[in-house]
Amino acid sequence: MLRRSKLQKEAILRDNRMETPNILLTAARSANQQKSIQATSAAPLALPDKPSIVILPFQNMSGDPEQEYFADGIVEAITAGLSRIRSFFVIARNSAFTYKGRAVNVCDVGRELGVAYLLEGSVQKAGDRLRITVQLIETEGGAHVWTAHYDGTINDIFDLEDRITEQLAGALQPSIRIAEIERSRRKRPQDLGAYDYAMRAMPHVWALEKEESAKALELLDKALAIDPTYPLALSLAGWCHAQRSVYTWADDIAESQALARTLAERAAELSGDDPLILTVLGAVHTFVRNHGTARVLLERALSLDPNAAWAWGRLGWLETYSDQPEHAIKNFERALRLSPLDPMNINNYVGMACAYEVAQDNDKAVALYRRALEERPHAIWIHRHLASVLSGAGRMEEAKKVYAEMMRNYPDLTVSKFKQAMVFSAPTLERMAGNLRRLGLPE
């Protein structure tokens, strides 16, 4: 998110404090009331074929007029940040602020603006402390999707605004994505479009399991049968095929890599600048060893959306594979801070474990691999990493147990196949392969 300088913000505050003549206030109220009457009487607007949201003005409950400007500043910053993400439809600030100071019905707002989600919030003050409470609401029925609160002091109110905006933007994206998946599941089969099938595929993509990946590809095939040029479905399908190669699920790893590359290139031709799609494409190119292309895509995604937790996580993986573990760990930590409830966070824990393994900090790597397996026991591909790092640490009894479990799940795994699938640097890959050789993995 672009930060405004403190001087700029103070100038904005001074301008906003200028008294508005009563005649202008009266005219503004009249215009807003007229707009409300027109909107209510008009036919409901159709929902866009992407997540749609309005960020309503936050309610100042502090009794301090100074906090009115602070609350408005947060709303404006969140609106501006989300508006840069092409996979979201965000109502402009001017339309959202016509609801300022009004008691609103969530369902009415959804119909008037044609949005599926509404974010509302409040600001409270006690002494020099502030609490900002926010909730994300589904406009069809008024169900609460997500709620959170953020605390800080007014000593440096502009830094507080930046921090809250960053955290909110990072948390909103996965929350809305999960809600969109649930909305697609509630639809009747005959009403499903390409977008709905892509949403239904997402949790199967996130699962990072062989059977789940196959289910995702079935759903993405249905999406592409409806719209063969849908870039999100193309990029997710490419990611699934890249998973099949790097997790050694595919019988022919080279074929899966080639198919992933083809789908990614097709999606790139059609997608434009969408941070989500750029992130997925960056992951695909990382898996097929196009690290230069992957970096360009991921850095572009982050320039468009600095709060994209997925992009920070994928950049962490790229740094891990490039033997830059310190940079990688910082990127994974940033992804976790931006989106602590993200269903893909297991990937960040495994990524940090891999980064520690690259740095040969084996004990930290073991702890994180075990944590990831506790969270996702069916992610059996993690055993390849855990067996290697335990062997490298000289913890051979533990290593042998994990190796036996690995071979039950991967009976055809060889050193050659392991090295073909993994995308670490040559020295790191040779060290990992040597660890598995000591446990008996055949060439």
- Considering only CA atoms, which of 202, 148, 117 is closest in space to residue 338? 148
Q: What is the number of domains present in the chain? A: 2
The mean pLDDT value for 369-374 works out to 94
Same domain, 307 and 371: yes
| pLDDT for 84 | 73
- Considering only CA atoms, which of 182, 94, 191 is closest in space to residue 138? 182
Q: What is the pLDDT of residues 144-188, one digit of tens each?
A: 888 888 888 877 777 777 777 777 777 777 778 778 778 787 777
Please indicate, yes or no, if residue 183 is contained in any of the structural domains. no
Residue where one domain finishes, among candidates 139, 173, 207? 173
Report yes or no: 305 and 321 within 8 Å, Cβ to Cβ.
no
Q: In the chain, helix, strand, coil percent, each to 5?
A: 65, 10, 25
Please indicate, yes or no, if residue 42 is contained in any of the structural domains. yes
Same domain, 163 and 288: no
The mean pLDDT value for 413-425 works out to 93
Please check the confidence at residue 114 and state whether its pLDDT lies above 70: yes
**Percent of the chain scored above 90 by pLDDT?**
40
Q: What is the CATH number of the domain that holds 163?
A: 3.40.50.10610
Same domain, 131 and 209: no
Region of 300 please: left (phi>0), alpha (psi -120 to 50) or beta: alpha
Same domain, 292 and 423: yes
More confident residue, 51 or 219: 219
The mean pLDDT value for 195-218 works out to 90
Q: How far is CA 68 from CA 140, 163, 301, in A?
A: 29, 18, 33
More confident residue, 95 or 85: 95
Task: In whole angstroms, give the CA distance from residue 199 to residue 183.
Answer: 9
Tokens of 137: 């609401």
Q: Which pLDDT band holds residue 237 (cuts at 50, 70, 90)?
A: very high
Please check the confidence at residue 413 and state whether its pLDDT lies above 70: yes
| pLDDT for 416 | 94
Same domain, 19 and 153: yes
Please indicate, yes or no, if residue 179 is contained in any of the structural domains. no
Same domain, 266 and 321: yes
Same domain, 205 and 295: yes
More confident residue, 191 or 135: 135
This model's pTM is above 0.85: no
| pLDDT for 3 | 42
Same domain, 111 and 203: no
Please check the confidence at residue 29 and state whether its pLDDT lies above 60: no
Residue where one domain finishes, among candidates 125, 147, 173? 173
Residue where one domain finishes, among candidates 149, 173, 197? 173
Q: Identify the domain containing residue 329 by its residue range.
A: 189-438
Please indicate, yes or no, if residue 358 is contained in any of the structural domains. yes
Same domain, 303 and 420: yes
| pLDDT for 9 | 43
Task: In whole angstroms, give the CA distance from residue 62 to residue 330.
Answer: 36
Q: Tell the residue number behind the tokens 């090295």, with chain if given.
A: 419
Please check the confidence at residue 125 and state whether its pLDDT lies above 70: yes
Strand pairing of 129-138 and 144-153? antiparallel
Same domain, 193 and 162: no
More confident residue, 288 or 327: 327
Task: In whole angstroms, give the CA distance from residue 236 to residue 242.
Answer: 10
Same domain, 235 and 128: no
Please indicate, yes or no, if residue 224 is contained in any of the structural domains. yes
Report yes or no: 70 and 125 within 8 Å, Cβ to Cβ.
no
Average pLDDT over the chain reads 84
Q: Which of 54-68, 154-168, 383-397 has the lowest mean pLDDT?
A: 154-168
More confident residue, 199 or 388: 388
Q: Which pLDDT band holds residue 43 (cuts at 50, 70, 90)?
A: low
Task: In whole angstroms, give the CA distance from residue 97 to residue 57.
Answer: 6
Q: Which pLDDT band holds residue 68 (cuts at 50, 70, 90)?
A: confident
Q: How many CB atoms lie within 10 A of CB 27?
A: 11
Q: SS3 string of the chain?
A: CCCCCHHHHHHHHHHHHCCCCHHHHHHHHHHHHHHHHHHHHCCCCCCCCCCEEEECCCEECCCCCHHHHHHHHHHHHHHHHHHCCCCCEECCHHHHHHHCCCCCCHHHHHHHHCCCEEEEEEEEEECCEEEEEEEEEECCCCCEEEEEEEEEECCCHHHHHHHHHHHHHHHHHHHHHHHHHHHHHHCCHHHCCHHHHHHHHHHHHHCCCHHHHHHHHHHHHHHHHHCCCCHHHHHHHHHHHHHHHHCCCCCCHHHHHHHHHHHHHHHHHHHCCCHHHHHHHHHHHHHCCCHHHHHHHHHHHHHHCCCCHHHHHHHHHHHHHCCCHHHHHHHHHHHHHHCCCCCCHHHHHHHHHHHHHHCCCHHHHHHHHHHHHHHCCCCCCHHHHHHHHHHHCCCHHHHHHHHHHHHHHCCCCCHHHHHHHCCCCHHHHHHHHHHHHHCCCCC
Please indicate, yes or no, if residue 426 is contained in any of the structural domains. yes
| pLDDT for 13 | 38
Q: Which pLDDT band holds residue 42 (cuts at 50, 70, 90)?
A: low
Report yes or no: 201 and 223 within 8 Å, Cβ to Cβ.
yes
| pLDDT for 19 | 35
| pLDDT for 126 | 81
Same domain, 111 and 156: yes
Q: What is the CATH number of the domain that holds 305?
A: 1.25.40.10
The mean pLDDT value for 62-86 works out to 78
Task: In whole angstroms, give the CA distance from residue 415 to residue 433.
Answer: 6
